A = this chain, B = another copy of it.
Amino acid sequence: MFDYKLLEALAAVVREGSFEQAARALHLTPSAVSQRVRLLEQRAGQVLVVREAPTRATPAGLSLCRHAEQVALLEQALQQDWPQLAPETAGPVTLPLAINADSLATWFVAAAAALCEGGTLLLDLRLEDQDHTAEHLRSGEVVAAVTALAAPVAGCRSVPLGALRYRATASPAFMARHLPQGATPQALAQAPCLTFSRRDRLQALWLAQIFPQPPQPPTHWLPATQAFVDACRAGLGWGMNPEPLVAQALASGELVELVPDTPLDVPLYWQHRQALPGAAVLTDAVCRAARTGLRPPAGPVR
């Protein structure tokens, strides 16, 4: 069997981002943590941690971290039947998950609260565009992801969650100033829009859905979901906002749709490593929360 004290040290260094923080979390000295990781690296015959700030795992290090989590989850399950076997130091297991910012801002916190209710899990959430969360799953950085990718990543299971509905929204003052004749391609080529990140294609997708020759609007870059809504209200630009966050403002007229009733639906999937212990419970909690914020999945379960 592996020496799990060494694996525990490796996982803490990768999770906490530094040897000092890992030492504090494990109640060890930094040099003891460093020694354990070095010993594991000697045995593995390769580097497992990139010594930068923050520290991160090499591909080999990642696969050992994921193994350490799986074993810890299996131990937790065993301890329910054999509480007398529980080591005194057994703490919660930290699960790394990749999620898109708009899911985190709308329906996912309810899922997180349900998952962690028992006190045995902690979540390490990584934000990424929904078109790219699956890459983190593929590389082994996370054990599960909310993703726009329907096809299962190798070794993973994919469950449809439903679609997050977006509305192209702006303030009435913005409309009066920049789009007085409505959302014409000519006006949209001049009116500033908001873009979340270099990976955010939602504005471009909506434009392509409306116009055969979509305009290229100038853009602000604004990488925060709530600030995106706030910036629309403040008249900084127009942008694709999750319907749950703007439904009230649309109803009251504080925000308006650029073109009435032109939603954009983004189907989302929950993908998790098949080997993840307790995946059924996780999946159940995530699907349950998704039902409150997403539109029901269209097709049969893939």
Contacts and interface: CB of A to CB of B under 8 A. Distances in A.
Interface string A88-116: 00011010000001001100111011001
A227 B105 contact: yes
Interface residues of A, number: 46
Nearest to A26: B216
Interface string A210-230: 000000101111111111001
A225 B223 contact: no
Interface string A22-48: 001101000000000000000000000
A202 interface: no
B236 A112 contact: yes
A287 interface: no
14 contacts: A25-B216, A54-B198, A54-B199, A91-B218, A104-B224, A105-B230, A109-B227, A110-B234, A119-B192, A122-B218, A122-B220, A124-B220, A127-B223, A224-B224
Interface of A: 16-18, 21, 24-25, 27, 54, 91-92, 94, 101, 104-105, 108-110, 112-113, 116, 119, 122-127, 192, 198-199, 216, 218-227, 230-231, 234-236
